[in-house]
């Protein structure tokens, strides 16, 4: 695209005509935002030419950075042969078929079927359709209730937005009436004097209590991210997932793992359910499946569910115009090929992940850091005024906002979530690039300490 307008003109057109996601339109109309005009390797560049290390992989999706020519070429090539065709009405296309097979090859053994969507939100809506259909076919139509977690994030359509356990979102729409919430395994926030391990079991058992409260005969599924991403990178205590798995094994409910952020290598396994030993019946994916270069999401359907749908027969009355879009699937095939051929995930597991963990943990010693959480290439810092009392730097999460802005000024893109700073850099970073990330973040933490009068 020919970029002819000046950055000032773009700024004013953006404020006048473009309504942004999860943004206060009134505030944006006066302050405007940062226009990103170019990207290369792990760096983004704003319209004024400033280089910023992208510590967020775009929106947790460009895991392989921005210079992946194989994906770009696969997209061009597909546009030249079959730019679009649908998968409705007994039709299919080669990239969708190849992508389905490629996903089956890299996901855990119970997954042999995929339903494609364009996004993670639509994939989670699809999960609801699948679990309801599954129990209907089993002759248990009353099993409709779905349990999710406080502060989980599963998307922003009406149904996925209801699955997301974020009350500030719920205040703005009327959600579906069959979703319930249980505790999140956020030890730093809710664990008080308990050890993380004790708290992990207690948080997990809130699921068991909720199943009993609703009646197992009414509950269809539990949905959770292996590590909550948008909620603040909540790395669960080691006891949490084994206890959740025990509960799901003992009860007649389906387990849905939302791998939209954790999937495709971020924690050092193809999927974080493998990192944590979780055995999901359904698995949501999106984002890094195409390295963010094309919209694609979907649900991996475990044999337990697929067998019932297949045996029961009857149309699954759900689909999207772009389900299995050939160009998105071509991008996905190329992405998976790079991950396999370049052994990217093995490197996260054995080399760059452990290095990131070690370097990130060293930030725990900084005076404004109350807790450093990290698993592979996804991480968070809880910012505090007082490490012992866990008192926050300032009301309304202003400390984290200040620190995020300081990081961006130092050339590092991170995100503020509540009172935490989160990061998910491209998983192809080398050690020097991790060092740069840590140095820029340390500078931002120092500035934050100075701003709030804390000695470093
Ligand atoms: C875990 C999780 N699930 C679902 C979604 C929704 O995906 P999308 O924005 O593609 O609809 C997100 C988005 O951040 C996510 O983090």
| Whether residue 100 is found in the same domain as residue 237 | yes
Q: Is 439 helix (H, G, I), strand (E, B) or coil?
A: helix
Is there a domain that residue 365 lies in?
yes
Q: What is the pLDDT of residues 402-440, one digit of tens each?
A: 999 999 999 999 999 999 999 999 999 999 999 999 999
Assess whether the C-beta atom of 452 lies below 6 angstroms from ligand 1. Answer: no
Say if residues 163 and 145 touch (Cβ distance below 8 Å). no
Classify residue 309 by its DSSP letter.
Answer: H
Instruction: Write down the pLDDT at residue 4.
Output: 81
Burial 404-427 (b: 16+ CB within 10 A, else e): bebbbebbbbbbbbbbbbbbbbbb
| Whether residue 192 is found in the same domain as residue 288 | yes
Assess whether the C-beta atom of 292 lies below 6 angstroms from ligand 1. Answer: no
Q: What are phi and psi of 149, to 5 degrees?
A: -125, 150
Backbone angle region of 287, left / alpha / beta, with phi > 0 → left and psi within -120 to 50 → alpha? left
Assess whether the C-beta atom of 155 lies below 6 angstroms from ligand 1. Answer: yes
Assess whether the C-beta atom of 185 lies below 6 angstroms from ligand 1. Answer: no
Is the pLDDT at 68 greater than 80? The verdict is yes
Q: What is the pLDDT of residues 15-35, one digit of tens each?
A: 999 999 999 999 999 999 999
- The token pair at 133 is 């259909």
Assess whether the C-beta atom of 263 lies below 6 angstroms from ligand 1. Answer: no
Instruction: Write down the pLDDT at residue 323.
Output: 98
| Whether residue 207 is found in the same domain as residue 94 | yes
Chain-centroid distance, C-alpha 55: 14
Is there a domain that residue 432 lies in?
yes
User: Which of 307, 323, 341 lies at the terminal end of a domain, its last residue?
Assistant: 341
27 Cα: distance to centroid of ligand 1 (angstroms) = 25
User: Which of 326, 341, 356 lies at the terminal end of a domain, its last residue?
Assistant: 341
Indicate which CATH number applies to the domain containing 212.
3.40.640.10
Helices (H) and strands (E) in the chain, counts: 18, 15
Tokens 């509960």, residue?
247
User: Which of 341, 363, 387 lies at the terminal end of a domain, its last residue?
Assistant: 341
Tell me the percentage of the chain whose pLDDT exceeds 70. 99
Indicate which CATH number applies to the domain containing 55.
3.90.1150.10
Identify which of 405, 399, 360 has the alpha carbon closest to the alpha carbon of residue 378. 360
Mean pLDDT over 305-318 rounds to 96
Instruction: Write down the pLDDT at residue 224.
Output: 98
> What is the domain count for the chain?
2
State the Cα–Cα distance between residues 252 and 220, nearest whole angstrom: 8
| pTM (two decimals) | 0.97
Mean pLDDT over 267-288 rounds to 98
Instruction: Write down the pLDDT at residue 1.
Output: 54
State the Cα–Cα distance between residues 101 and 323, nearest whole angstrom: 15
Is there a domain that residue 21 lies in?
no
Assess whether the C-beta atom of 120 lies below 6 angstroms from ligand 1. Answer: yes
145-149 and 111-117 as β-strands: parallel, antiparallel, unpaired? Answer: unpaired
Q: What is the pLDDT of residues 180-203, one digit of tens each?
A: 999 999 999 999 899 999 999 999
Mean pLDDT over 66-82 rounds to 98
Is there a domain that residue 219 lies in?
yes
Q: Going by CA atoms, what residue is nearest to atom 8 of ligand 1?
A: 120
| Whether residue 302 is found in the same domain as residue 442 | no
Assess whether the C-beta atom of 233 lies below 6 angstroms from ligand 1. Answer: no
How far, in Å, are 254, 274, 353, 374, 379 from residue 224 at the CA level?
11, 14, 23, 18, 18
| Whether residue 275 is found in the same domain as residue 305 | yes
291 Cα: distance to centroid of ligand 1 (angstroms) = 14
Instruction: Give me the domain span that covers residue 249.
Output: 70-341
State the Cα–Cα distance between residues 453 and 450, nearest whole angstrom: 5
Instruction: Write down the pLDDT at residue 456.
Output: 86
State the Cα–Cα distance between residues 362 and 291, nearest whole angstrom: 29
State the Cα–Cα distance between residues 410 and 107, nearest whole angstrom: 39
Is there a domain that residue 13 lies in?
no
Assess whether the C-beta atom of 152 lies below 6 angstroms from ligand 1. Answer: no
38 Cα: distance to centroid of ligand 1 (angstroms) = 24
- The token pair at 179 is 């979703």
| Whether residue 349 is found in the same domain as residue 334 | no
Is there a domain that residue 374 lies in?
yes
Predicted confidence band of residue 7 (pLDDT cuts 50, 70, 90): confident
Strand partners, 381: 372, 421
Atom of ligand 1 nearest to the CA of 59: 14
| Whether residue 54 is found in the same domain as residue 132 | no
Q: Show the CA angle centred on residue 166, arms to residues 56 and 213, nearest 5°.
A: 130
249 Cα: distance to centroid of ligand 1 (angstroms) = 26
Is the pLDDT at 134 greater than 70? The verdict is yes
Mean pLDDT over 117-139 rounds to 98
| Whether residue 125 is found in the same domain as residue 247 | yes
Instruction: Write down the pLDDT at residue 304.
Output: 98
| Whether residue 191 is found in the same domain as residue 321 | yes
Is there a domain that residue 24 lies in?
no
| Whether residue 336 is found in the same domain as residue 376 | no
Average pLDDT for the chain: 97
State the Cα–Cα distance between residues 438 and 419, nearest whole angstrom: 19
Is there a domain that residue 27 lies in?
no
| Whether residue 245 is found in the same domain as residue 380 | no
224 Cα: distance to centroid of ligand 1 (angstroms) = 12
Burial 347-375 (b: 16+ CB within 10 A, else e): bbbeebbebbbebbeebeebbbbbbbbbb
Is the pLDDT at 105 greater than 70? The verdict is yes
Identify which of 372, 394, 368 has the alpha carbon closest to the alpha carbon of residue 381. 372
Predicted confidence band of residue 48 (pLDDT cuts 50, 70, 90): confident
Q: What is the pLDDT of residues 238-261, one digit of tens each?
A: 999 999 999 999 999 999 999 999
Predicted confidence band of residue 3 (pLDDT cuts 50, 70, 90): low
| Whether residue 125 is found in the same domain as residue 39 | no
Tell me the percentage of the chain whose pLDDT exceeds 90. 97
State the Cα–Cα distance between residues 190 and 199, nearest whole angstrom: 8
């Amino acid at each position: 695209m020919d970029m002819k307008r000046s950055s000032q003109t773009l700024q004013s057109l953006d404020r006048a005509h473009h309504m942004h996601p999860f943004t206060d339109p009134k505030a944006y109309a006066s302050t405007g935002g940062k226009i990103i005009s170019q990207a290369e390797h792990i760096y983004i560049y704003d319209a004024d030419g400033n280089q910023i290390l992208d510590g967020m992989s775009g929106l947790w999706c460009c895991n392989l950075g921005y210079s992946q020519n194989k994906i770009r070429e696969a997209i061009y090539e597909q546009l030249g042969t079959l730019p679009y065709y649908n998968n409705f009405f007994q039709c299919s296309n080669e990239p969708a078929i190849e992508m389905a097979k490629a996903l089956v090859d890299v996901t855990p053994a119970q997954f042999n079927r995929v339903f494609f969507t364009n996004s993670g939100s639509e994939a989670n809506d699809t999960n609801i359709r699948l679990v309801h259909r599954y129990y209907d076919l089993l002759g248990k139509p009353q099993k409709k209730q779905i349990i999710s977690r406080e502060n989980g994030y599963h998307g922003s359509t009406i149904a996925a937005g209801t699955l997301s356990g974020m009350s500030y979102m719920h205040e703005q729409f009327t959600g579906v009436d069959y979703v319930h919430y249980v505790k999140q395994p956020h030890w730093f926030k809710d664990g008080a004097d308990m050890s993380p391990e004790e708290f992990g079991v207690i948080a997990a058992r809130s699921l068991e209590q909720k199943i009993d409260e609703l009646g197992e005969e009414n509950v269809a599924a539990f949905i959770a991210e292996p590590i909550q991403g948008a909620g603040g990178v909540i790395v669960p205590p080691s006891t949490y997932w084994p206890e959740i798995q025990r509960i799901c094994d003992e009860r007649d409910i389906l387990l849905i793992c939302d791998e939209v952020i954790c999937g495709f290598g971020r924690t050092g396994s193809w999927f974080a359910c493998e990192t944590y030993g979780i055995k999901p019946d359904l698995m949501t994916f999106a984002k890094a499946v195409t390295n963010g270069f094309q919209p694609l999401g979907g649900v991996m359907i475990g044999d337990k569910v697929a067998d019932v749908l297949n045996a029961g027969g009857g149309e699954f009355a759900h689909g999207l115009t772009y389900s299995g879009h050939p160009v998105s699937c071509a991008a996905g095939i190329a992405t998976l090929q790079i991950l396999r051929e370049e052994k990217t995930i093995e490197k996260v597991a054995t080399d760059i992940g452990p290095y990131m963990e070690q370097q990130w943990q060293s930030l725990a010693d900084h005076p404004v850091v109350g807790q450093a959480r990290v698993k592979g290439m996804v991480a968070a810092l809880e910012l505090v005024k007082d490490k012992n009392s866990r008192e926050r730097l300032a009301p309304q999460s202003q400390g984290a906002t200040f620190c995020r802005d300081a990081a961006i000024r130092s050339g590092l893109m991170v995100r503020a979530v509540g009172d935490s700073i989160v990061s998910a850099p491209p998983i192809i970073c080398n050690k020097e690039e991790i060092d740069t990330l840590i140095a820029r973040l340390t500078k931002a933490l120092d500035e934050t300490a100075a701003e709030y009068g804390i000695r470093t």
